[in-house]
Structure 1
Amino acid sequence: MSAVAQPPSPADEVARRARPRDPSEEKDRLRRRIREQRAHRSARQRSEVAQRLADVVLTIPEVADARCVSVYASRPTEPGTSPLVEVLAARGVRLLLPVLGTGLQRDWAEYAGPDDLRERAPGRPPEPGGDPLGAAALADADVVLVPALAVDAAGGRLGQGGGWYDRVLAHVRPGVPVVALVHEDEVLGSVPRAPHDVGVTAVATPTGWRRLGPGAADA
């Protein structure tokens, strides 16, 4: 006869709650929730968000003064970057966009207009077709604009899970702002972090921007 499974004792339940939570599991749950929220936005809402976000980012002093900006071509459900990219390009700002390559290969290429962007594989963001410049080209950027699913006041950033930006941000010059672009409701009280996660120094949403992390209140 098989033994009857016993319910956990109160001591077992206390021990279970006391165990540190796995940040990877917390991240996955949060990613699913935010992706679902983003998928429910209409095309009209996404267009409005993209224009408002561009207006906000252009007020960041470092963006207004930048000669070179690292940005990205947004995916359909992300806060849109097309209006922002077009304004910066029209100003003559040099724009560096990610080139993903194979696996976690890190590279950049210059933006040469919307007709030059290609989606090279399903689910990947559009990429420029110009000559790759190498991972270290990010050191040329005066501002780095990065995608995120969520951020918190300490500068924690929740990405898509591939770790690409956690690796490329090692090439950012000291003092250069790294700005995450998200919706208003994606600025959270806290974001689960792992030791390898690289944070951001500011966040921009369609309603405004602010600096993050230690000393942000004095900036």
Structure 2
Amino acid sequence: MHGDLKPSSVHQPYPVAPGMEPEDAKDELRRAIRHQREGRSPRLREEAASAFAEVLATVPAVQEADVVATYAARPTEPGTGALLERLAARGTRILLPVLGAGLARDWAEYTGPDDLLERAPGRPPEPGGQNLGADAILEADVVISPALAVDTSGTRLGQGGGWYDRVLKQARPEVRAVAVVFPEELYDAAERPLPFESHDVRVHAVATPEGWWPLPA
């Protein structure tokens, strides 16, 4: 953790107008953030992935976890390859999502990078081992979740399917959720709040390549 939480508005998209419906605001933000992510070079993505692994290794909930539920990143997302290898090297059991039909949730164990395959265009890489069922999330001691943006109240902007909102509701109540974003995707809730709806689940901490911070979830 690096000092006080001070989000930067530099190069931060915020196409949210007063009076906008939350879902419309979310859609506009998703488009803007995805577009910005596409402009990040492979070299910068690789550097960020290494930094994410270093930062997340200092989060107490991650340090203490025997079982970590996280994700295998798509190309433009904050990279998790270095994190997965770091966790595996210390003997941590790692659960990764397996996407079923619709919003069906499932999990499988990470056994190494060679086992991760993109099962369909646009889907994140998934492990090829045995599916463990949706209830496997109950074994997780911490959830490291993807996000398009997070604000300082803990509001998380996801991809729009609601998958992780459902996952976070199903995890054990004491389990901490840590969202991973690039620095410009951390928003000041007092000045640029992210849209929030009743089904959204706030996260307990946020990590960027520059550090991690607890949030008032």
Task: Flag whether TM exceeds 0.5 (same fold).
Answer: yes
In structure 2, C-alpha distance between the alignment counterparts of 1:61 and 1:201, rounded to whole Å: 12
Letter in structure 1 aligned against 2:106: D
The equivalent residue for 1:205 is 208
Give runs of aligned pairs for residues 146-185 of structure 1, distance below 5 A.
146-185=145-184
Shift of 1:26: 0.3
Aligned to 2:86: 87
Output one character per residue of 1:154-174: Cα deviation in whole Å (capped at 9) or x when no partner.
Answer: 110000001111112122111
* Cα drift, residue 21 of structure 1: 2.5
Report the equivalent of 1:33: 32
Q: CA deviation at 1:55?
A: 0.3
Residue aligning to 1:49: 48
Q: Which residue of 2 aligns with 1:187?
A: 186
Whichever residue aligns with residue 55 of structure 2, its letter is V
**Larger Rg computed on CA atoms:** 1
Which residue of the partner structure matches residue 103 of structure 1?
102
Question: Hey, what's the Cα distance between the residues in 1 that align with 2:71 and 2:23?
Answer: 25
Runs of 4+ in 1 over 3 A off after TM superposition: none
Counterpart Cα distance in 1 of 2:24 and 2:147: 17
Partner of 2:114: 115
Corresponding residue of 2:134: 135
Further displaced range: 72-81 or 20-29: 20-29
Instruction: Report deviation, 1:61.
Output: 1.1
TM-score by length of 2: 0.88
> Identity across aligned pairs (percent)?
60
Q: Which residue of 2 aligns with 1:124?
A: 123
**More contact order relative to length (CA 8 Å, sep ≥ 6):** 2
- Structure 2: 5+ residue stretches without partners: 1-16
Q: Which amino acid aligns with 1:121?
A: A
Task: String of CA shifts for 1:27-53, please: whole Å, max 9, x gaps.
Answer: 011111111110000010000000001
Per-residue CA distance 1:78-135 (angstroms, 9 max, x = gap): 0100000001001110000000111111011111111111111100000011111111
Which one-letter code corresponds to 2:180 in the other structure? L
Partner-residue secondary structure (3-state), 1:199: coil
Provide the aligned length of Structure 1 versus Structure 2.
Answer: 197
CA RMSD of aligned residues (A): 1.2
TM-score, length of structure 1 as denominator length = 0.87
Aligned residue type for 1:125: P
SS at match of 1:95: strand
Q: CA deviation at 1:210?
A: 0.5
Larger relative helix fraction: 1
